[in-house]
């Protein structure tokens, strides 16, 4: 990206003044190196978002931002329904409520490494991964409705996990306002046999070692210790969420024209929050959020059962489960006034600071865990939300490393077998049903996660707590 078109606010904040139809400025959080390496589409998309009706304060992009569908991935924007604000399926994304769940094993990583081979084999056998993967959970229509309404709470009621875990899931495991009736027959059919599965693309289950602590006091509250083994699960609402996104993007493109909304890009299809289609999408999207939370809850319990078999002394305790790709109603201060806003986060993580009432008692004094996935073979991070993050981007942070090349480019450059062998030489086991999928997700296809996280911390979006290094990765 050419930085001459940006106003430098700080070492890690860049402003684009309103031009053309922009209603608010755009702000990109990144250091100079990350900004220069960002594709020009980020500039185009973050400014396009700033033209949408009812947007408040600014259109934001996180340090991992890259080109997406309509909104940039790493995009954050909030809309005021009282000012004609809109909801955009492109501002949520296709993989609704894709997110990360991190479990603490209570084991020393050295002990886990001794069993990494049978552990990886058992995880790969018990937790289906890949395009079109199906699991052992099969839902009829009443069960589908119950899952879409209940989320992780429903999964716990079915015997997947402990009720106490719900306190450490965003929305306490249940997204209110879901309307299963707004989810199409086709979306339901796609999900009927996909619960408890990882899917494909950048989704994974990774066994990791805590290799560095940055904030010892917060780490102690989170239950993290150097040398401990943890498990991170990254997945979402699978075929159901994708189908909802596909259908509503099409319908919203028509609705926008009918409502007199001028779109700079058809991919920004949206509708007034208070419109009939706006309400229908909210009900369906919230059902998809529940689907994703239920899916991760099931996978978490399947993971626990594998550890029980391979490493019986393990006690997998949930640190936190947080979503990306959502639109949530949240109270934020804008111009000295507290407003109820519809906050879109696409490829971005909620990062509430200390004292937020949405956090469980055990975490409220320190802030929300912010779980940052790395790319396969590189480090991941645990961060924590800060008090100042509220003033940065509606309490939002980056969600991962962010791609720096397309999947097609990665596939042309790397071979899956070679990636697996290279990682094995470093002591990292990879299990995947797709050689192509491994090539597309090669570590080199992503930005430097260390640089992304450093920029997020320096920008005040979140603070580093721990760095995690991979031991074994189950990849879709």
Residues labelled as active-site residues: 399
**Residues in contact with 269: Cβ distance below 8 Å, sequence separation at least 6, in sequence order:** 70, 88, 89, 90, 248, 249, 250, 252, 253, 255, 256, 263
Q: What is the b/e burial string over 241-280, where b = at least 16 CB atoms within 10 angstroms of the residue's CB? A: bbbbbebbbebbbebbeebebebbeebbbbbbbebebbbb
Nearest to 116 by CA among 422, 438, 426, 429: 429
Cα distance between residue 65 and residue 343, in whole Å? 17
Query: How buried is 184 (Cβ within 10 angstroms: 0-12 exposed, 13-18 middle, 19+ buried)?
Result: middle
Is the Cβ–Cβ distance between 41 and 308 less than 8 Å?
Answer: no
CB atoms under 10 Å from CB of 132, counted, come to 13
- Both tokens assigned to 378: 């590189």
Q: Which two tokens stand for residue 407?
A: 């999947």
In degrees and rounded to multiples of 5, residue 60 shows phi and psi of: -110, 150
How are the residues of the chain apportioned to helix, strand and coil, as percentages rounded to the nearest 5?
40, 25, 35
Q: What are phi and psi of 460, to 5 degrees?
A: 85, 15
Cα separation of 449 and 13, whole Å?
Answer: 18
* DSSP codes of every residue in 67-127: --SSSPEEEEEEE-GGGT-EEEGGGT-SSTT-EEEEEEEEEEHHHHHHTHHHHHHHHHHHS
Task: Decide the pairing of beta strands 317-323 and 99-108.
Answer: antiparallel
Euclidean distance between CA atoms 282 and 328, whole angstroms: 9
């Amino acid at each position: 990206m050419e930085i001459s078109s940006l106003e430098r606010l700080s070492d890690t904040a860049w402003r684009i003044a309103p031009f053309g139809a922009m209603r608010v400025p755009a702000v990109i959080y990144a250091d100079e190196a990350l900004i220069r390496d960002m594709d020009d589409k980020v500039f185009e998309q973050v400014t396009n978002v700033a033209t949408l009706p009812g947007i408040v304060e600014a259109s934001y992009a996180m340090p991992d931002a890259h080109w997406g569908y309509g909104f940039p991935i790493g995009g954050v924007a909030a809309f005021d329904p009282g000012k004609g604000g809109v909801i955009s399926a492109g501002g949520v994304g296709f993989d609704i409520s894709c997110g990360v769940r991190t479990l603490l094993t209570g084991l020393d990583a050295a002990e886990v490494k001794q069993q990494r081979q049978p552990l990886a084999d058992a995880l790969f056998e018990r937790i289906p991964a890949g395009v079109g993967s199906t699991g052992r959970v099969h839902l009829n229509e009443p069960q589908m409705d119950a899952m879409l309404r209940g989320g992780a709470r429903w999964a716990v009621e079915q015997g997947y996990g402990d009720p106490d875990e719900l306190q450490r899931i965003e929305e306490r495991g249940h997204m209110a306002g879901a309307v299963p009736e707004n989810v199409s027959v086709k979306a339901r059919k796609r999900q009927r046999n996909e619960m408890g599965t990882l899917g494909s693309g950048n989704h994974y289950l990774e066994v990791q070692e805590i290799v560095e602590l940055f904030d010892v006091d917060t780490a102690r509250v989170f239950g993290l210790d150097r040398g401990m083994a943890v498990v991170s699960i990254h997945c979402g609402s699978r075929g159901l969420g994708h189908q909802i996104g596909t259908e509503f993007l099409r319908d919203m493109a028509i609705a926008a024209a009918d409502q007199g909304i001028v779109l700079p890009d058809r991919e920004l299809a949206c509708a007034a929050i208070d419109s009939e289609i706006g309400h229908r999408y909210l009900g369906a999207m919230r059902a998809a959020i529940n689907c994703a939370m239920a899916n991760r809850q099931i996978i978490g319990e399947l993971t626990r059962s594998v550890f029980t078999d391979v490493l019986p002394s393990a006690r997998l305790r949930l640190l936190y489960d947080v979503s990306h790709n959502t639109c949530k109603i949240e109270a934020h201060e804008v111009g000295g006034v507290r407003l109820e806003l519809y906050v879109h986060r696409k490829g971005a993580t909620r990062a509430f600071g200390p004292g937020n009432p949405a956090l469980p008692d055990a975490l409220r004094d320190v802030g929300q865990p912010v779980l940052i996935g790395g790319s396969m073979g590189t480090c991941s991070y645990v961060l924590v939300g800060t008090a100042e993050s509220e003033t940065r981007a509606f309490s939002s942070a980056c969600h991962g490393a962010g791609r720096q090349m397309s999947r097609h480019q990665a596939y042309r450059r790397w071979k899956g077998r070679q990636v697996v062998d290279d990682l094995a030489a470093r002591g990292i086991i990879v299990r995947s049903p797709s050689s192509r999928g491994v090539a597309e997700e090669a570590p080199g296809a992503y930005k430097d996660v260390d640089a992304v996280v450093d920029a997020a911390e320096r920008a005040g979006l979140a603070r580093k707590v721990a760095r995690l290094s991979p031991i074994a990765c189950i990849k879709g």
